[in-house]
Amino acid sequence: MNAQWSTVQLTVNGLRHTVQAPPMKRLLDVLREDLRLTGVKEGCGEGECGSCSVLMNGELVNSCLVPVLQAAGATIQTVEGLAPQGELSLLQKAFLECGGAQCGICTPGMLMAATQLLERTPNPTINEIREGLAGNLCRCTGFIRIFESVVAAAATKAAAVRKEESHAR
C-alpha cells in the first residue's frame, strides 16, 4: 500500500467492494487483478476492440480507458454478473445455440454490448444490431452468428413477455 493510492468504493455485480489502488489504475486491471473478475479481457488496451467492455452505471465502457478513480461509487456489471445463479441467461443461451461464440475471447465484451443494446432496444433491427456492436471486434465469426444470437435472444424475450402478458390478462 502506497501513500498516493486511493481508496475507491464500487459495486460490482451487486457486491460492494473497497479497493486501494493507484488512482490512474485502469478499471480493467482493478477488475481482473484486485477483484479476480477475469471474464473481463484485454485485447488492445486502447479502446478499439471492446473485449474489456463492462457496464458502468448502465453505460457500456471500455474498462481499459477508465481510471479507477473515475469509477468511484459506480455500479459495474461484468460478464460474471450476467448469470449469477449459474444458469446461462437468455442472451448467453442464444450465443451458445446460434454459434455466436467461437474462440470466446471477445465474448464477454460482446455480451455486455448486446446486453445494453437489448435493454435500450428490445427488438433491434439488423442495422441497430450492427451499430450497437460496432465497438466490439470479433475476429472469428465474421459477426453474422452474433447478429443471429442477438435476434434470437430478442425474439425469445419478446415471446416470454407476450406469454406473461397473456397470463396477466
Which residues make up the interface to another protein (CB under 8 A)? 32, 36-46, 48-49, 51, 78-80, 82-83, 88, 92, 95-99, 101-108, 111, 129-131, 133-147
Using left for φ > 0, alpha for ψ between -120 and 50, and beta otherwise, residue 142 falls in: left
State the minimum distance, in angstroms, from the CB of residue 95 to another protein: 6
Report in angstroms the alpha-carbon separations of 138 from 66, 107, 120, 141, 154: 22, 8, 22, 6, 21
State the minimum distance, in angstroms, from the CB of residue 70 to another protein: 20
Closer CB to another protein, 134 or 161, in the complex: 134
Give the bridge partners for 11, in sequence order. 16, 75
Closer CB to another protein, 3 or 168, in the complex: 3
Residues 102/124/76/32 CA torsion (nearest 10 deg): 10
Grid cell locating 63: 474498462
State the minimum distance, in angstroms, from the CB of residue 134 to another protein: 4
State the minimum distance, in angstroms, from the CB of residue 13 to another protein: 11
Closer CB to another protein, 73 or 84, in the complex: 84
Closer CB to another protein, 9 or 48, in the complex: 48
How many other C-beta atoms lie within 10 A of the C-beta of residue 102? 15
Smallest CA-to-CA distance from 107 within 37, 26, 50, 44 is with 50
State the minimum distance, in angstroms, from the CB of residue 20 to another protein: 15
Closer CB to another protein, 72 or 88, in the complex: 88
